[in-house]
Amino acid sequence: MEIIQSIESMQRRSCSLKRSGKRIGMVPTMGYFHEGHLSLMRLARSKADIVVVSNFVNPTQFAPTEDLDKYPRNFERDCHKAETIPVDIMFAPRNEDMYPEDFRTYVEVGEWGKKLCGLSRPAHFRGVTTIVLKLFNIVQPDIAVFGWKDAQQFLILCRMVKDMNLPIEMIGGDIVREPDGLAMSSRNKYLTPEERKDAVILSRSLKEAREMIERGAMEADVLKERIRKMVNGAQYGRLDYVEIVSRETLEPLSRVQKGESLIALAAYFGEARLIDNIRY
């Protein structure tokens, strides 16, 4: 696996790959790989000739009060894991190259960035769209793979690709979970053993909601109340939000619509803010 740090080298490498007719598949990440990241790399591997993974903890998507400084990092271990896929190129740019002092331009997200996670993280998605557009311009992928774990992020990025006419096929990979159901996340590392045990309530409450829907309970208020009770009933859990929205518009639904709905939640367990969702 080739490791590229310089933006210019990456751009030159991508240009020459594309000139020789290769299809580039890209997986943007912030590193500290787990099976969720690796599943996206495998998906990219199955669809492209060359797989590029970016590994960059993006400061502009963290608020000053958030966990940028302690976000877990382990570049060497990431390289070993990526090599098993195999990934062709790991692009790991330097912060000062991505955001030099005179950096000024951001990609504005609009209304969608204010919903769901945007309520408690108002500048987050603007940081995400900005870094992903930069990465797309550097790597020039034909295909980009993101996880449904971050459903709002995926929908906003699909919107950006459409609105900005980027010639990139967007692919969403399913959420990879721990054996007990907890969605894998780099932030699970923040959990104490007690919080870790408790955090399983997130996926359990979503599973319960799915079962209620399958028994005919389509009312959003009823489903949200059940999830709220379950998560807040856990000793260490504090629900940030639960919403049932259309995957098309991100607008709240009063009733679950089969094939169109996203049930998304975020909750604090100690220091960790965790997210999870199901599509129905």
The three-point CA angle 96-57-153 to 5° equals: 125
Burial 41-50 (b: 16+ CB within 10 A, else e): bbbbbeebeb
The residue (of 175 and 227) whose beta carbon lies closer to ligand AMP is 175
The residue (of 135 and 176) whose beta carbon lies closer to ligand AMP is 176
Residue 268 contacts residue 240 (beta carbons within 8 Å): yes
Q: How far is the CB of 224 from ligand AMP (least distance, A)?
A: 23
Q: How far is the CB of 154 from ligand AMP (least distance, A)?
A: 7
CA 8 vs CA 12, 79, 91, 135: distances in Å: 6, 21, 11, 12
Q: Which two tokens stand for residue 9?
A: 């080298």
Task: Tell whether residue 25 is a contact of ligand AMP (CB under 6 A).
Answer: no
- Look at strands 50-55 and 89-91 and give their pairing: parallel
Residue with tokens 């049932």: 244
Kindly give, in sequence order, each residue whose CB lies less than 8 Å from that of residue 253, ignoring residues fewer than 6 positions away. 220, 244, 245, 246, 260, 261
Q: How far is the CB of 50 from ligand AMP (least distance, A)?
A: 19
The residue (of 220 and 269) whose beta carbon lies closer to ligand AMP is 269
Task: Tell whether residue 40 is a contact of ligand AMP (CB under 6 A).
Answer: yes
Task: Tell whether residue 185 is a contact of ligand AMP (CB under 6 A).
Answer: yes
Element (H, E) at 117: helix 117-120
Concatenate the DSSP letters of all residues of 142-186 into one string: SEEEEEGGGHHHHHHHHHHHHHTT---EEEEEPPPB-TTSPBP-G
Q: Which two tokens stand for residue 218?
A: 């389509």
Task: Tell whether residue 29 is a contact of ligand AMP (CB under 6 A).
Answer: yes
Binding flags for ligand AMP, 164-183, as an x/- string (CB under 6 A): ---------x-xx------x
Task: Tell whether residue 186 is a contact of ligand AMP (CB under 6 A).
Answer: yes
The residue (of 16 and 74) whose beta carbon lies closer to ligand AMP is 74
Task: Tell whether residue 205 is a contact of ligand AMP (CB under 6 A).
Answer: no
The residue (of 93 and 147) whose beta carbon lies closer to ligand AMP is 147
Task: Tell whether residue 30 is a contact of ligand AMP (CB under 6 A).
Answer: yes
Count of residues in contact with ligand AMP, rule CB under 6 A = 17
Task: Tell me the catalytic residues.
Answer: 37
| Other Cβ atoms closer than 10 A to 5 | 12
Q: How far is the CB of 42 from ligand AMP (least distance, A)?
A: 11
| Burial label, 113 (beta-carbon count in 10 A; 0-12, 13-18, 19+) | buried
| Binding positions for ligand AMP, 133-152, rule CB under 6 A | 146-147, 149-150
The residue (of 30 and 160) whose beta carbon lies closer to ligand AMP is 30
Q: Return the residue of 10, 14, 25, 37 that touches ligand AMP, per CB under 6 A.
A: 37
The site for ligand AMP (CB under 6 A) is made up of 29-30, 36-37, 39-40, 146-147, 149-150, 173, 175-176, 183-186
